[in-house]
Amino acid sequence: MNWPGYFPENCPPDDASEASGIVYRFVSHNPPDERDFRSQYILKQRDEHDEHPCAAYSISVLRNIDDVPKMQKKTRAVK
């Protein structure tokens, strides 16, 4: 895959694989649009991720719809 030029070195790691299948994501728009898939790096609302330098360049998704209520409780931005 081709990754954006602004990704840090080794991001994603060499052992990363391309994702496929259905995933779930909290979004602000219905239907979702490209704004709903911006990383924290792009949004500039990130903490430093010293242990995981790629974290701010990724987006979070859920693989199982049954995990949505649990994540809603843990995520203060989602009401």
Would you kindly state where each structural domain of the chain is located, as residue ranges?
10-65
78 DSSP assignment: -
pLDDT digits (tens, 9 = 90+) for 23-77: 999 898 899 999 999 988 888 876 655 567 788 888 888 999 999 888 888 876 6
CA angle, residues 53, 8, 49, in degrees to nearest 5: 15
Strand partners, 62: 24
Please indicate, yes or no, whether the overall pTM of this predicted structure exceeds 0.85: no
- CB count within 10 Å of CB 71 equals 13
